[in-house]
Amino acid sequence: MYPGHSVLQVPVPELEEFVRGRTIHYDASYLSADPDHVHAHVTALGPFADEPTPDIERRIAAIAAETPAFDFVLERVDTFADGIIHLLPEPDEPFRKLTARLAAEFPEHPPYEGRYGDVAPHLTLDLLSPDVTEASTRALLEGVLPARCRAARLDLAWYEPHASGTRRSWPLA
């Protein structure tokens, strides 16, 4: 069984209904019963520490307290080379700055384990398949986009089958 992993993420409640539906479609065991957990998110840093110490949590809190809350829009759908269909936040610079700040503070946890040169902020929507295309995903989002959103907090989320949820949250300044 997959052991699970943690992620520092910015929740996006405006897309929660859609992402919960896709989570159920792909693997309902990742659906969280935690009322504070928002499945729709933009990853700030992940995977992260499995068991953050009080010192690590203090450092995260300091970064969150120094990061102003910000508005962004989700409208542009794109697809990564690996088939992940996603939304690109605009502007993306506040997400990039947050990720850079967290990665500098926690170099032992590089974004996506250092697998990618440019870590593009995104909200995962779907996965290409014979039945799923970028166009079909756009059609499912009709009336939802553009989504005007506000990044107001940073969550430490845990993802594991039958055990996903939010472990801790920090408000952005």
* Of 142, 155, 157, 152, the residue nearest 172 (C-alpha): 152
Q: Is the pLDDT of residue 154 over 90?
A: yes
Q: pLDDT digits over 134-147, tens only?
A: 999 999 999 999 99
**CB-based burial of residue 51 (10 Å sphere; 0-12 exposed, 13-18 middle, 19+ buried)?**
exposed
Residue-averaged pLDDT of the chain: 95
What is this structure's pTM?
0.95
What is the rounded CA–CA span in Å between residue 79 and residue 99? 21
Q: pLDDT digits over 67-102, tens only?
A: 999 999 999 999 999 999 999 999 999 999 999 999
How many CB atoms lie under 10 A from the CB of residue 117? 5
Q: Is the pLDDT of residue 1 over 80?
A: no
Q: Is the pLDDT of residue 2 over 80?
A: no
* Of 40, 65, 72, the residue nearest 150 (C-alpha): 72
Where residue 8 falls among pLDDT bands split at 50, 70, 90?
very high
